[in-house]
Amino acid sequence: MTVGFGLLGEVEVRVDGRRLPLGHARQRAVLVALLVDANQLVAPDQLIDRVWGDRPPDTVRNTLHSYLSRLRRTLSGAPGVDIVRRSGGYLIAVDELTVDLHRFRRLVGQARSVSDGEQALALFERAFGLWRGEALAGLDTPWGDGVREWLNQQRLEAELVHTDLALRRGRHNELLSELSARVVARPLDERAAGQLMLALYRGGRQAEALSRYEQTRLVLAEEFGADPGPALRQLHQRILSTDPALDLVPEPDVDPTPPSAGDAGPLGRSVIPRQLPAPPGLFAGRVDELVSLDDAAQDQSSSGTTVVISAIGGSGGVGKTSLALRWAHTHLDRFPDGQLYADLRGFGPGPDPVPPSLVLRGFLAALGVNPSAVPVDADAQAGLYRSLVAGRRLLIVLDNARDTGQVLPLLPGSPTCTVLVTSRLQLTGLAATYRARLITLDMLSPGESWELLAGHLGRDRLAAEPAAVGVLLDHCAGLPLALGIVAARAATGRLWPLGMLAGELADTSTRLDALDAGELTVNLRAVFSWSLQALRADAAATFGLLGLAPTEDLSLAAVASLAAEPEPRVRELLRQLELTHLVQQHEPGRYRMHDLVRLYAGEQVDRTADAPARAAALRRLVEFYLHTACAADQLLDPRRAPVPVGEPPPGCVPLPLRSRAEAMTWFDREHSHLLTVQQLAGQLGLHSQVWQFAQAMTTFHVRGNRGHDQVMVWRVTLPAAREEGNRAIQAVAHRYLGQAAEALVDDRAATAHLRWAISQARRAGDVAEQARAHRALHVTWGRRGDGRRALLHALLGLRIFRRLGIDPVEEARGLNAVGWAHAQLGQYEQAWTSCTESAAVLRSHPHPDAEADTLHSLGFIAHRTGQHTEALAHFRQALELYDGVDNARGQVDCLVSLGELYASLGRRDEARQAWGRALTLLRMQHRGGEADALQEQIARQTLPG
């Protein structure tokens, strides 16, 4: 079964050639908004902006959920395709090569990176063949228009490169009609005009070529009051003089006879420097980066007015030099006047970077200048260098630069030169002053990493030990140098199983030892240390503290508490780390480190900070998350008793949250970190903080129907509470574990935990907790079909709360539980009495969750007693309250009941809509089992008509 997504034309999806129905334009726009960023998270607000622009409807989030649900159903038969909800947004999981847009970009990237001209032309033509018409046809949104314009520009740039290749291979006559149409469509495009002029000239039509130049000159003069650029003017002069160099050269891919520069006079003989080191023996991935370098070179060809500089940045060992040399060797034909190269030693074992004056002397020698003619003054050296390279098509590679200041004296002044710079530092000064194109290298993908390792060791050896290879790839985490070191060690011990190396890497205590091949340049610790040497002491100390954190990333506020420093100062320190690519700000205000860099940072902090200082930093991080979570919990449920956490320690500043929406967003974003930090609290012996974390997360878990997460946090709490001898917390933990087990339909576990909760609460003398456990047992027995036991426990819980008389909301919850138990036994009069009394109490003591539960019960009773209008009103009010507090479990239960009411009234469409929304909520929470059970329940319903 094959699937294909079409965006380069009318938006479509085909499975085995059959076109799937995608619904109306807005729904198709949701699919496109996900596919353009396939396999990447798209935030809900970003999706809404892409689909509705600045005029979304009031119900936009519900509408978006509905569209996503329909698209999931439509795509359910497409193999390997899924729309997934994750913390922070949605993504479509799909093989990118099934999406024509991504396949087009991949083919264009491959075409630009291969050295064989015929192969490149074939790849370009395959890419153009994917277009079926105007991209995103039928999608009429501002964002869609922008994407369409971007795609058209991508196609045009590819077509121009394709034309250059075709002209180089003598296809000028075939291109004439295509080029003429392009120039008519884009009369201001000087590059297209130049290609048409060259094709006409080579076809023996010199007069028409000159006429085309004159037409372009007149159009530019009329539109901009300017003459054509230097590149087009030079071509015009060469055609006028019938320059023989414009004729086809014998070898189409590489010019075998670059022009001689002649005699340089007293300065020495002018030579063509060929200083590039050998290209990397193995290379994988980096298609987008190679395309970006190509684009920069094409921009130079188009404008011809400024020197083009590309600055490749990234952490140590990420492959900056390999990328630069790969691109340079692939495009030698662009630079017939030579290539200059210098290792500036900005980061390395030596004490200092190479001075620019020393590099200039080397370049002048390579350009044929006699040593005696080299000026003493550094400025004079730079001036002579610029004079010699002026007008020459040279590539200058400045490798391993320390900073922008080291690079500036080495920049040529001529737009005919191209400069590639690599550095561990982000050379923002070059971008700001010289419009350098900044290219930041990330890690290789798992597939690219496998290809690189296979290139070193052979596919057969990798295929023989797939599990070990998986471990190697996981722990090298896409860092090319780490993969190269592993490969080198494996190659020297061909009889060793890869599993031995995998074992060393799997153990964090030996992982960095395993990534040492015996020389400084292939020792990961040494390579990382060269970046650390460039830092100030305070930035280096912050780097070490980041190695302590157990989370995959940290917010700015979290780092500030970890370091016990104000946020503005921490932001500046993190910027230093970011500039050297030791940390990455992967989204605004959030920072992460590569796994191997984190290990190295952890070693550094162990070496430079004593145990009490490390423990204090981790304590501040724990308290930051705990106090922020408690504040967020209070915003979610202000009527809940606050978790008793006391004051944060000095240097810990919890994040200020101002609204329930901010609290929900924070919980969604930080939830996985809260689970991790709760475990860290246990490891540090902070037993009270362990159960306080569980308390702070409970509202978020219960309302979000996160039963498995609730089990996890309270299961961790039990041993911590036992360690403290805290029976009251043990009782609470067993109750929450029981309620979570009941939500996960594990009735036996639920019953056992709740009985333990009652027992521990009695021993602790906590009467209110006994009542809550009884009320929870009423739900479990009701699910197990024992209505009389359910009623007994509901009555016991209510009796205790009435006797205590301290919490009206708990009493109202108890009344509702009794009413629900009566309703399940068919005792509707008693049920109605209890539930209406509960509603009366809650009118005086409002509580959204409790009110919604009671309204749901009243709706159920009204439905069962034939009062359909009242039932509908109760269900709608309950649903509005559940929606208002994001109580997902309550929403699902109420929507199911609402669907049953609609079904009994013969309102089939509304029934299906309610049930469909319930299913969507369950699937968005990855609760597939409950969704399947609900689907079966719905299937059993009889819909009249």
CATH for 101-246?
1.25.40.10
Kindly give, in sequence order, each residue whose CB lies less than 8 Å from that of residue 541, ignoring residues fewer than 6 positions away. 563, 608, 609
pLDDT digits (tens, 9 = 90+) for 603-634: 889 888 999 999 999 999 999 999 999 999 99
Q: Would you give the distance in Å from CA 658 to the centre of its chain? A: 27
Assigned architecture for domain 830-945: Alpha Horseshoe (1.25)
Task: Spell out the alpha helix ranges (H) of 435-566.
Answer: 446-457, 459-464, 466-476, 480-492, 498-506, 511-514, 524-533, 537-546, 556-563
| pLDDT score for 635 | 95
Q: 121 CB contacts (<8 Å, ≥6 apart)?
A: 111, 162, 165, 166, 169
The closest of 568, 566, 576, 564 to 536, measured between CA atoms, is 576
The low-confidence residues of the chain, meaning pLDDT below 50, are 250-270, 944-945
What torsion do the CA atoms of 706, 711, 712, 715 make, to the nearest 10 degrees? 160
Q: What is the pLDDT of residue 253?
A: 40
pLDDT at 520 (0 to 100): 62
Distance between CA atoms of residues 195 and 186, nearest Å: 13
Fold of 535-608: Arc Repressor Mutant, subunit A (1.10.10)
Tell me which CATH homologous superfamily contains domain 287-440. P-loop containing nucleotide triphosphate hydrolases (3.40.50.300)
Residue 772 Cα to chain centre, angstroms: 43
Cα distance from N-terminal residue to C-terminal residue, the chain: 36
Boundaries of every domain in the chain: 3-96, 101-246, 287-440, 446-524, 535-608, 830-945
- Which token pair is 721? 């509470």
The pLDDT, as a whole number, for residue 662 is: 94
Domains 101-246 and 830-945 are alike in CATH topology:
yes
Q: Looking at residue 254, what is its pLDDT?
A: 35
**Top-level class of domain 3-96:** mainly alpha
Q: In 601-717, where do the E strands start and end? A: none
Provide the mean pLDDT of the chain.
Answer: 87
Report the distance separating Cα 886 and Cα 882, nearest Å. 6
